[in-house]
Structure 1
């Protein structure tokens, strides 16, 4: 990922990661268990939750399905 991204993009990434982490914890999943059940590599999940990377749409779909929510709830 380019390091010269506008600050608003970096902030939105952090917000998305925080929201995913909050919902995951509310559902009582450890990061390891959540990675396993979603089929997403644990390190990839760590980077998403830390706001260090943009998740693929397929990852968002998997995350939303496991959390029984809509993708729009994650990204809004």
Structure 2
């Protein structure tokens, strides 16, 4: 049975492997990867995962180990804290507009 967690944006329960923050992180990773002109398969090899796993990461369906996160930041040529700051900005913006729907 999958572990369930409360969705930070609502009161509904979500699968622990599908959190909005993982989706946003995946989008950021994919955007930066594309901006560098690296295809998904090549990027996956660079960080030591399969293309299938990379697809799951970019779709927010795969959580990351800290080591994988550090590898991703290195390949994206950015400091890990910068990637986290970007994620924080995106999620804060969503939190601040959540009540405006």
Common topology (TM > 0.5): yes
Structure with greater Cα Rg: 2
The structure carrying a bigger strand percent of its residues is 2
Where do 4+ consecutive residues of structure 1 move more than 3 Å? none
Q: Which has the higher contact order (CA 8 A, sep 6+)?
A: 1
Name the TM-score, length of structure 2 as normaliser: 0.66
Name the TM-score, length of structure 1 as normaliser: 0.85
The structure carrying a bigger helix percent of its residues is 1
Ranges in structure 1 where 5+ consecutive residues have no aligned partner: none
Paired residue total: 76
Ranges in structure 2 where 5+ consecutive residues have no aligned partner: 9-17, 86-101
CA RMSD of the aligned region, Å? 1.9
